[in-house]
Structure 1
Amino acid sequence: MLTSRQLRYFVEIVDAGSFSLAAERLFIAQSALSRQVRDIEQALQVTLLIRDARGLDLTPAGRSLYGNARRILAALDDAAVSAVHAERGTEGTVHLLHSSSVPLGPALLAAIARHVDAHPGVSIDIATASSEHQAHEIREGRADLGLAREPILRRYADLQYTPLFRESLMAVLPATHAMASCSSVPVAALRNERFVAQAHPERGGLGHRVADLCRAHGFSPQPAAVRSRKWSQLALVEAGFGVAIVPASMAKMAPTGVKAITLEDARADSGVLLICRHDATAITRRLADALVATCTEAAD
């Protein structure tokens, strides 16, 4: 495995056109520089440079390594600069995950837009991931923030879980359903219905919360023939495959063939959490604070 130092030495030799000049620029002994090149050639089992009376000449392997080395070193330099800007909170990308049961509604999108306007050097990359999976992605460094639906079954000590808001759960039925004309229904009225979403045995989130709510009323959700844990469950309801219980924010985005009905239970609600690392970068922390402030203002 080559090191970045070896790549820099090799690029400097080629750019200088001689070992002696490269050694002067790098402030190291020429013999040490020659030894580094021999180590690279030995590691790769190729010849990189040919020295003759005219100077240095690159072999095909040398030309290939030189081009790739310059690109790698440039990327490393960019990464270092980006890290400094990210720590200062002036520039970088924040990777934001959200569950499909936590739609980015007007309030959250407005907060994101305001944040981007206030910090022109910051970009935000948004993707969906299950509530349970978000924590793993953030912990592994592949994401920075998560908008997850409670409950989260497995929590990590190095992550911070901040409650953002709670919202009502609603029943969504096909518009042709016998209860579609009702303004509200008891949770128990769904006992004999087929649910197009089922809880995963190893995941929390919306499915787990709905299953708990139904069990509190003496039954377990019966699975429909066609099911989905994703946003597509609303399409399945519209197609008549069954019913679902979803958050109010999700119910507002239901297609025209779906009727959203209030559940007659004060416990029929669900919370949303903001997940991030305790040692989150400055730009991540600023966006997190902006989202928390927006949700706090909305609650007031």
Structure 2
Amino acid sequence: MLTHRQLRYFVEIVDAGSFSQAAERLFIAQSALSRQVREMEQALQVPLLARDARGLEMTAAGRSLYADARQILAALGDAMARATHAQRGTEGTLQLLHSSSVPLVPALLALLDRHTQQHPGVAIEIAQASSEQQALDIDEGRADLGLARAPILRRRAALHYRPLYEEALVLALPAGHALAGQARVHVAALRGERFVATPHPERGGLGHAVAELCRAHGFAPQPAAVRSRKWAQLALVQGGMGIAIVPASMGALAPAGVRVLPLADPGSSSGVLALWRQEAPPLVQRFAADLQSACAPI
């Protein structure tokens, strides 16, 4: 098997036109260079170079090897450069997850645009996953960083859980609902209402936060006949299937026919966390730092 060094030596000999000039360029003895070529010819069982009156000539096998060697050396050089850039955090692909209850608000979109402008070698792939699933995927290496809705119940020791921002929870209800004319609504007034968002105390994220908020006001949220844990819950509210408590950023994107009202009770808020591995590569660490800076004023 030929080595990277042998291929580099062979290309240098051909480019220089002689063993002596190649030896000077490579800062090695000419005899050592000749020995490397002999070993290559023995390994391939074909002659690669021949001397005649005109100087050094490649055989047919030598011409074939020279073309391939240049491609191999170029590819190896590119691979080494990419590996270096990836280690320095200047090149690579970042897998970003976000909960359906964490919409990509203008500040986050501006961050994504700014980050890719400043680091043109970095690509960002975005997908949705629940808060608990994000933690699992990042811990097991299927994703790099997550935007999760607090709380996350199953903490993993290898991950960072950094608060990004807190936002108010709001009530989304059909425009024709009896409460739609109120300026604000107390959570206790929602006793007996049907929730399309399937709050669940045993599952983290927004569902857990809503369930705990309702329990703090003396009742368990009742599920609607048609319900969803995803973005579709606002469409269900629009269709008159029930109500939902959602973050203000999500309520701001509600479709026509949905009335969004503030909640009157103190503590009606929900936080967003950034998740990433403690031993994440620099590419991820840099984005996480930019993310925390960008989200500070949200």
The TM-score with structure 1 as length reference comes to 0.74
Q: Which amino acid aligns with 1:155?
A: R
Q: Please state whether the residue corresponding to 1:178 is helix, strand or coil.
A: coil
Q: In 2, Cα distance between the equivalents of 1:153 and 1:27?
A: 62
Residue ranges of structure 2 left out of the alignment (5+ in a row): 8-35, 46-60, 62-73
Q: In 1, Cα distance between the equivalents of 2:292 and 2:192?
A: 39
Q: Which amino acid aligns with 1:222?
A: Q
CA RMSD, 1 decimal? 3.1
* Distance apart, 1:83 and its partner CA: 3.6
Q: Which amino acid aligns with 1:131?
A: S
Q: Please state whether the residue corresponding to 2:162 is helix, strand or coil.
A: strand
Residue 52 of structure 1 is matched in structure 2 by none
Q: Identity rate of aligned residues, in percent? A: 60
CA contact (8 A) 2:199 2:221 kept: no
Q: What is the total number of aligned residue pairs between the two structures?
A: 247
Q: Which amino acid aligns with 2:137?
A: E
Distance verdict in 2 for CA 1:227–1:186, change over 3 Å:
same
Distance verdict in 2 for CA 1:282–1:189, change over 3 Å:
same
Distance verdict in 2 for CA 1:118–1:211, change over 3 Å:
same
Residue 217 of structure 1 is matched in structure 2 by 217
Q: Please state whether the residue corresponding to 1:132 is helix, strand or coil.
A: helix
Q: Which amino acid aligns with 2:240?
A: G
Is 2:193 the counterpart of 1:193? Answer: yes
Residue 236 of structure 1 is matched in structure 2 by 236
Residue 109 of structure 1 is matched in structure 2 by 109
Q: Please state whether the residue corresponding to 2:110 is helix, strand or coil.
A: helix
CA contact (8 A) 2:201 2:212 kept: no
Q: Which amino acid aligns with 1:228?
A: S
* Distance apart, 1:264 and its partner CA: 1.1
Residue 123 of structure 1 is matched in structure 2 by 123
Q: In 2, Cα distance between the equivalents of 1:189 and 1:155?
A: 34
Query: Deviation digits for residues 223-253 of structure 1, max 9, x if unmatched?
Result: 1000100000000000000000000000000
Residue ranges of structure 1 left out of the alignment (5+ in a row): 1-5, 13-23, 35-54, 56-73
Q: In 2, Cα distance between the equivalents of 1:27 and 1:202?
A: 68
* Distance apart, 1:203 and its partner CA: 2.3
Q: Which amino acid aligns with 1:270?
A: S
Residue 155 of structure 1 is matched in structure 2 by 155
Q: Please state whether the residue corresponding to 1:234 is helix, strand or coil.
A: helix
For residues 15-54 of structure 1, the aligned pairs below 5 Å read: none
Higher CA-based Rg: 2
* Distance apart, 1:158 and its partner CA: 0.7
Q: In 1, Cα distance between the equivalents of 2:237 and 2:220?
A: 18
Residue 280 of structure 1 is matched in structure 2 by 280
Distance verdict in 2 for CA 1:243–1:280, change over 3 Å:
same
Q: Please state whether the residue corresponding to 1:185 is helix, strand or coil.
A: coil
Residue 255 of structure 2 is matched in structure 1 by 255
Q: In 2, Cα distance between the equivalents of 1:26 and 1:211?
A: 77
* Distance apart, 1:280 and its partner CA: 1.1
Q: In 1, Cα distance between the equivalents of 2:80 and 2:133?
A: 29
Q: In 1, Cα distance between the equivalents of 2:133 and 2:37?
A: 49
Q: Which amino acid aligns with 1:193?
A: E
Query: Deviation digits for residues 157-187 of structure 1, max 9, x if unmatched?
Result: 1100000000000010001101111110110
CA contact (8 A) 2:137 2:143 kept: yes
Residue 290 of structure 2 is matched in structure 1 by 290
Q: Which amino acid aligns with 1:165?
A: Y
Q: Which amino acid aligns with 2:222?
A: Q
Q: In 2, Cα distance between the equivalents of 1:84 and 1:250?
A: 40
For residues 85-96 of structure 1, the aligned pairs below 5 Å read: 85-96=85-96
Q: In 1, Cα distance between the equivalents of 2:236 and 2:145?
A: 30
